[in-house]
Amino acid sequence: MGLIQTIILSVVEGITEFLPISSTGHLILTSYLLGIPQTEFVKSFEIIIQLGAILAVVVIYFKKLVISLNFKLYKNILLAFLPTVAFGLLFYDYIKDYLIGNSMVVVISLLIGGVAMLLFEKFHKPVHRSLLTVHYLLIGLFQVLSMIPGVSRAFATIFGGMVVGMNRKEATEFSFFLAIPTMFGASVLDLYKTDLNAWSAEDSRLLAIGFFGSFITAYIAIKWLIKYVQNHDFKIFGWYRIAVAILFSMIMFAK
């Protein structure tokens, strides 16, 4: 993987991480288009550069997350994170060996997710309630679905939040916050499971570039999305997912 490919992947990660269109799916499909082999390093790269994206969340919401010491928010994030811990530890090897890097899985997930998004927006009736422990655990179970490449962690958690009673902006922001332990945990687990001695100095340099690139682009994407959700629904993302799925399936079958 070269420098230009690294920059492209980091930009794709930063833009797509917090939009409900699947960053992992887009990274896999972008790698496919660029002809980047799905080596162990590339798979780890696609996981670890997400740390740059979550740093953008911490910077933007530093006051709310750090200065205010909102222990109720910390508790709710932890509750929603627990299902991911359980399923992640159980299925990490299977996910990395058979799902990450699988372009066909991504295409199918994008298509099904796009249809589901359009149906959700058409039939969902907003509910407003005080959230209980079980509601945050349910959001966490929605997030578990995003372990399948192409599903989108943002899609799963935002719509999970709306199902249990959050409004669109609240669900979107909670999705940002839940990304912090989720992606940090995924990166730490991947580093623990990976033979770092097999990485070259060039691999480490590319990883640093990817981290910085995803941070910058994620910062911009988060700012934009928060403004967008205050006056728009997610139908455009549903149609986008369907269009991308159709386009990439045509490209794959043509090769």
Mean pLDDT of 192-198: 77
**Phi and psi for 25 in degrees, rounded to 5?**
-60, -45
| Token pair of 234 as six digits | 């997610």
The C-alpha atoms of residue 217 and residue 20 are separated, in whole angstroms, by 16
Residue 151 is given by DSSP the state S
Instruction: Grade residue 201 by pLDDT with cuts at 50, 70 and 90.
Output: confident
Query: pLDDT tens-digit profile of 138-161?
Result: 999 999 999 888 899 999 999 999
Determine contact, residues 188/51, Cβ cutoff 8 Å. no
Chain mean pLDDT for the chain = 91
Helix/strand/coil for 229: helix
The C-alpha atoms of residue 222 and residue 217 are separated, in whole angstroms, by 9
Taking CA atoms, 203 is separated from 23, 208, 217, 232, in Å, by 21, 9, 21, 41
